[in-house]
């Protein structure tokens, strides 16, 4: 069959995913650094038209799809009433009716399968064998007559059931639409496509079953399972955040941030960073894209030789900014705000987000004063005496690409330094580099760390790569030979760990916080 379409309803709020769907449509949740909806779309031939219902975070989803899948025929259907009274999956489906007057495949935006998806050359529904749970509908099957019923959640009592995965092929589309329209008063609006499919079965239309290897991404538990099972061994190590994301799809890298100014400034800075960062090929209010470059991130290929080459490369990157173009007094004021005010704000955010309080704590066997006491002893005047240069702003190994020829490319650069887009503090780049040498994203993603907090006693530990430990030694040799202050670098690194703690997931957030606090204590009490 050459003439059919695909329907992917993507209007709902996705509340079962919690913070993952706070700023993004659930269709954009990442599996193997690619949104779920892209996994779905790539299952179909490029000539097939795909109808996508939009509601929650519609503009962001539409922008992404047009940027990532510009080679596809996509039809967008805005759904006005996608939440609240009178809304429901069935209503969303019916709003797409006029675009689907032909056989079509119904495909949820949270369903990832391994097998190829059949054409709707007959009526069929997809299922997977699962353990008995109340959260999925199930199929009653007959070996001769196909599907006898799509049962409501919890209807089966056996240990292993045939769970309906929401995937279906609809050949007899007229009968399906008639059933959905006639069922408006009887539940089709809330129930969704299974209402129409069940009505077709009751009218003696044959509906076959198709078995799939299924990964549900529509709830937190199954999403985390899918992430682990489908992760590529050589994929970039990306630590997820609530307000931003980065995806790798169709030969493109797409960066998202909920703040339009973030994207605007990030794109604008590529003028000053030309030759060091990728060229932006497209951008919208909340995202930009560039062509995927070949090579490996530093964390995958570093050794002493590569690291020393990187340091030489960075010396050519850190071009000093000089007066009169630069107001040095204002720059120092910016550094002060960026380090002190930002740290205090982020610490407050950490305590608020994780419902914790400041106080005296024993961390890895060392009694440490409340964080506020430590912050009051920081030599902020010393830290604000920054060195203004062309800067990156997030210079760790996952943001440094090494090509096959040994060339370097800087990725995921910071959009500004305290609202200054022309220059930033060299010491901040050095501290970010040290932060990445200490904490490996790869090992964090493998959960190779521990943190325990009982009353006021905290213990933590984390694995480190031998190559990064050696790189750290070479790093401090470079710092000292270049005439920079190593203590200043370590202090800023401690502040960085404190700053990023509230931006990451629990318990990694706790590890970052207490690592930062212990490092800060050590440096303040270091008289060297």
Q: Over 80: is that where the pLDDT of 241 sits?
A: no
Measured at the CA of 497, the angle between CA 493 and CA 501, to 5 degrees, comes to 165
Q: Over 50: is that where the pLDDT of 351 sits?
A: yes
Query: In this predicted model, what pLDDT tens digit does every residue of 397-436 receive, in sequence order?
Result: 989 999 989 999 999 999 999 989 989 999 999 999 999 9
Q: Is 417 exposed, middle or buried (0-12, 13-18, 19+ CB in 10 A)?
A: buried
Q: Which residues contact 142 (CB under 8 A, 6 or more apart)?
A: 148
Query: From the CA atom positions of the chain, what is the Rg in Å?
Result: 27
The better pLDDT of the pair 391, 153 is held by 391
Q: For residues 433 and 394, is the Cβ–Cβ distance under 8 A?
A: no
57: left (phi over 0), alpha (psi -120 to 50) or beta: left
**What distance in Å separates the CA atoms of residue 201 and residue 149, rounded to the nearest whole number?**
7
Provide the token pair at 419: 């609202």
Banded model confidence at residue 472, pLDDT cuts 50, 70, 90: very high
Q: For residues 10 and 54, is the Cβ–Cβ distance under 8 A?
A: yes
Provide the token pair at 247: 């995806």
Q: What is the mean pLDDT of the chain?
A: 92
Query: What predicted TM-score, i.e. pTM, was given to this entire model?
Result: 0.85
Banded model confidence at residue 528, pLDDT cuts 50, 70, 90: very low
Mean of pLDDT values over 175-180: 97
Q: What is the structure's pLDDT at 516?
A: 98
Q: Over 80: is that where the pLDDT of 453 sits?
A: yes
**What distance in Å separates the CA atoms of residue 238 and residue 455, rounded to the nearest whole number?**
32
Q: What is the structure's pLDDT at 122?
A: 95
Q: Over 80: is that where the pLDDT of 468 sits?
A: yes
Domains of the chain and any CATH numbers: 5-219 (3.90.550.10), 294-524 (3.90.1200.10)
Q: Over 60: is that where the pLDDT of 89 sits?
A: yes
Alpha helix locations (H) across 231-321? 260-269, 298-301, 304-317
Instruction: Fill in the DSSP letter of residue 355.
Output: T
Give 504-507's long-range contacts (Cβ < 8 A, gap of 24+). 504/239, 504/241, 505/240, 506/354, 507/451
């Amino acid at each position: 069959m050459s003439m059919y379409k695909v329907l992917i309803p993507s209007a709902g709020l996705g509340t079962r995913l919690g913070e993952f769907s706070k700023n993004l449509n659930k269709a954009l949740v990442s599996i193997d650094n690619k949104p779920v909806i892209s996994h779905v779309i790539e299952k179909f031939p490029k000539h097939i038209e795909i109808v996508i219902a939009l509601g929650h975070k519609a503009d962001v989803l539409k922008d992404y799809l047009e940027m990532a899948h510009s080679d596809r025929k996509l039809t967008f259907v805005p759904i006005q009433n996608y939440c609240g009274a009178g809304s429901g999956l069935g209503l969303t489906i019916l709003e797409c009716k006029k675009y689907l007057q032909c056989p079509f495949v119904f495909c949820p935006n949270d369903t990832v399968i391994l097998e190829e998806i059949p054409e709707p050359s007959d009526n069929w529904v997809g299922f997977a064998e699962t353990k008995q749970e109340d959260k999925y509908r199930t199929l009653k099957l007959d070996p001769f007559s196909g599907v006898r019923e799509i049962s409501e959640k919890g209807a089966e009592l056996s240990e292993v059931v045939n769970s309906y995965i929401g995937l279906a092929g609809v050949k007899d589309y007229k009968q399906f639409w008639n059933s959905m329209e006639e069922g408006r008063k009887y539940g089709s609006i809330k129930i969704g496509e299974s209402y129409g499919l069940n009505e077709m079965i009751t009218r003696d239309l044959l509906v076959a079953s198709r078995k799939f290897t299924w990964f549900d991404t529509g709830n937190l538990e199954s999403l985390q399972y899918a992430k682990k099972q489908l992760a590529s061994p050589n994929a970039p190590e990306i630590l997820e955040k609530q307000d931003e994301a980065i995806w790798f799809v169709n030969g493109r890298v797409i960066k998202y941030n909920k703040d339009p100014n973030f994207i605007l400034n990030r794109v604008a800075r590529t003028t000053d960073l030309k030759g060091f960062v990728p060229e932006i090929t497209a951008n919208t209010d909340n995202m930009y894209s560039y062509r995927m470059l070949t090579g490996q991130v530093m964390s995958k290929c570093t050794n002493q030789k590569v690291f020393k080459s990187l340091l030489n490369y960075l010396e050519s990157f850190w071009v000093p900014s000089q007066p009169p173009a630069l107001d040095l007094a204002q720059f120092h004021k910016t550094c002060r705000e960026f380090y002190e005010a930002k740290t205090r704000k982020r610490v407050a955010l950490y305590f608020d987000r994780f419902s914790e309080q400041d106080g005296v704590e024993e961390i890895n066997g060392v009694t440490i004063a409340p964080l506020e006491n430590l912050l009051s002893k920081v030599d902020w005047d010393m830290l604000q005496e920054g060195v203004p240069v062309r800067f990156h702003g997030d210079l760790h190994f996952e943001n440094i690409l090494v090509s096959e020829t040994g060339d370097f490319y800087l990725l995921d650069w910071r959009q500004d330094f305290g609202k200054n887009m022309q220059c930033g503090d060299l010491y901040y780049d050095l501290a970010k580099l040290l932060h990445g040498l200490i904490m490996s994203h790869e090992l964090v993603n493998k959960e190779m760390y521990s943190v325990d907090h009982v009353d006021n006693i905290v213990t933590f530990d984390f694995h480190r790569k031998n190559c990064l430990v050696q790189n750290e030694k070479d790093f401090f040799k470079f710092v000292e030979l270049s005439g920079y202050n190593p203590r200043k670098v370590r202090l800023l690194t401690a502040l960085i760990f404190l700053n990023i703690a509230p931006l990451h997931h629990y318990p990694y957030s706790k590890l970052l916080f207490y690592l930062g606090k212990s490092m800060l204590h050590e440096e303040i009490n270091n008289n060297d």
